[in-house]
Structure 1
Amino acid sequence: MPITPQDFHALVEAARSCRRFVEDRPLSMADLDWLVDCARLAPSARNAQALRFILVTQGPVCDELFRLTRWAGALKDWGGPHPGERPTAFIAVLAPGKGGELVAYDAGIACQTIQLAAATRGWGCCVIYSVDRAAAAPLLQVPEGMKLALVLGLGVAKEERVIAPVPESGNLNYWRDGRGVHHVPKLGLAELTAGRFGA
C-alpha cells in the first residue's frame, strides 16, 4: 500500500541523527540484514552496486568499534554516548579503494535509505565519518581493495530529536535543551531555493 506524501514528509522529519540508544534492547543480525536489504534496493550510479557492508551486533567487535568512533562534535561538553546509551549495532559501509566520485554518492544514498528504514521501526541511526580507519579496517577485516567509507551506529532510539527554527544569529549547530531534547536547526524552503523556472 503506498504511503501518503504527508507520511513520507513526517518520516523524513523524524529520521534525525540519533546519538543515544536503549542499550538493553539490542538489534539483532536479522535486523541489520533487513536494513542492508533496503539499501540494496536503492539507486546506484550506473547500477554498479560497488558498495559492500559489514554488519556488527553487540559483542567485543561492537565495543571496540565504538571506541574508535567520535560522536557529536558540536556538543563540546557531552563526551557520549555514555554507558547504557551506546549503539547496539554498527553497519560499516565499504567502497572500492579506487572508486570514483560517484561511489561517494552511492554511499550517501545507501546511508540515507538505512536511516529512513530504521526510523520506520523506532530505531535510531547516526552516520559517522569520524572513525579511526587505520584501526577499524583490521578489526572489521575489511577486504583487500575496499576502504571504510562510513560507519552507521544503530539501536533502539532513546533520545527525542526535533527540527528547530534557525536562531537570529544564524548558528546551525544542533543543541540539547534542559530536558535532553536534541534540536536540529533547519533553514526554510525559501532560503534553500536558489531559483525557480516555470509556474
Structure 2
Amino acid sequence: MLHDAVSQNRTCRRFYENERIDRDTLVDLVDTARLVPSSGNRQPLKYCVVHDPALCARVFDCLSWAAALPDWPGPDQGERPSGYLVILHDKTLVLGELFTAWDEGIALQTIMLAAREKGYAACPIGAFKKKSLSEVLGIDRETLEPDLVVALGRPREEAVIEAMPTDGSPAYWRDDAQVHHVPKRSLDEVLIAQR
C-alpha cells in the first residue's frame, strides 16, 4: 500500500485555486510532520501556515517554478496553490546543516503523503526569494531560516512515471495534453550488487 501511495505522490504544479485548503487542514499536516524522527531529536523545524488568498498571492510572487521547464513562469491565475507550508529551521536548535536537510526531507515526504491522503497535492519549492518571503510573512531571520516552501492544493494535472530515457536525462516534461512525465531509474539500476 505504501508503494502505491509513493508512486502516486508526484510533485504537482497546477491546482484548482478556487478549491481553498483551510487552515485546520494545513495545521493537521504540520501536526503529522512534527512527529517524524529528527537528528539528535533536536526538532529544529518550524512551520508557517499560509491559507489566506491575499497572502498566498504575495507568497507566489516570491517563488520560482520548475527548473526543467525554463520557459514556464509557473501556474496561471486560477491554477495556483490555495495554501502553503513554509518549512524553516530554528538556528538555535540545529545540530548541523546536513542533519537539518535530513529532517526536512523526512518532514517533506510525510507532508506530501499526508496531503495526498486528504485529496491534495504538493510541490516542494527550494528556489525562492528568502528575504522577500521572510518580509511577507514577518519572519525574524535572526533565529528562523526559511528552507522550503510547500505549495498545496487540489491537483489539476496528471503526472505519470516513465522509464529513464536511454540518454539518462532525468528531465521531466509535459506533453501536448499537459500531462507531466517524470522519468525514474529502474530498480535494477539503483540496486548495487554485493560481492
TM-score range, shorter chain: over 0.9
Q: Does 1:14 align with 2:11?
A: no
Contact 2:85 2:149 in 1 (8 A): yes
Displacement of 1:21: 0.3
Give the SS at the match of 2:122. Answer: strand
Q: Which amino acid aligns with 2:135?
A: P
What corresponds to 2:193 in structure 1? 195
- Number of residue pairs aligned between Structure 1 and Structure 2: 191
Displacement of 1:60: 2.1
Q: Which amino acid aligns with 2:160?
A: V
Contact 2:12 2:155 in 1 (8 A): yes
Q: Does 1:47 align with 2:41?
A: yes
Q: Relative to structure 2, which stretch is displaced further, 89-98 or 154-163?
A: 89-98
Displacement of 1:146: 1.1
Q: Does 1:33 align with 2:27?
A: yes
Displacement of 1:195: 3.5
Alpha-carbon distance between aligned partners in 2 of 1:78 and 1:191, rounded to the nearest angstrom: 31
Structure 1 residues not aligned, in runs of 5+: 1-6
Displacement of 1:33: 0.8
Displacement of 1:96: 2.5
Displacement of 1:166: 1.1
Structure 1 segments of 4 or more deviating over 4 A?
none
Alignment root-mean-square deviation, CA: 1.3
What corresponds to 1:175 in structure 2? 173
Contact 2:44 2:91 in 1 (8 A): no
Can you list the C-alpha shifts for 1:7-57, whole angstroms capped at 9, x where unaligned?
Answer: 111100011111000011010001101111110111111211111000000
Q: Which amino acid aligns with 2:148?
A: L
Q: State, as a whole percentage, how many aligned pairs show the same letter.
A: 39
Q: Which amino acid aligns with 1:152?
A: V
Structure 2 residues not aligned, in runs of 5+: none
Alpha-carbon distance between aligned partners in 2 of 1:196 and 1:74, rounded to the nearest angstrom: 35
What corresponds to 1:137 in structure 2? 134
Q: What TM-score do the two structures reach when normalised by structure 2? A: 0.93
Alpha-carbon distance between aligned partners in 2 of 1:97 and 1:17, rounded to the nearest angstrom: 28
Contact 2:173 2:181 in 1 (8 A): yes
Q: Relative to structure 2, which stretch is displaced further, 107-116 or 139-148?
A: 139-148
Alpha-carbon distance between aligned partners in 2 of 1:41 and 1:80, rounded to the nearest angstrom: 32
Q: Which amino acid aligns with 1:40?
A: R
Can you list the C-alpha shifts for 1:142-172, whole angstroms capped at 9, x where unaligned?
Answer: 2341100111000011110110111122211
Can you list the C-alpha shifts for 1:80-119, whole angstroms capped at 9, x where unaligned?
Answer: 2111100010100011236312111101111110011111
Q: Relative to structure 2, which stretch is displaced further, 93-102 or 27-36?
A: 93-102
Q: What TM-score do the two structures reach when normalised by structure 1? A: 0.91
Alpha-carbon distance between aligned partners in 1 of 2:128 and 2:91, rounded to the nearest angstrom: 17
Q: Which amino acid aligns with 1:70?
A: S
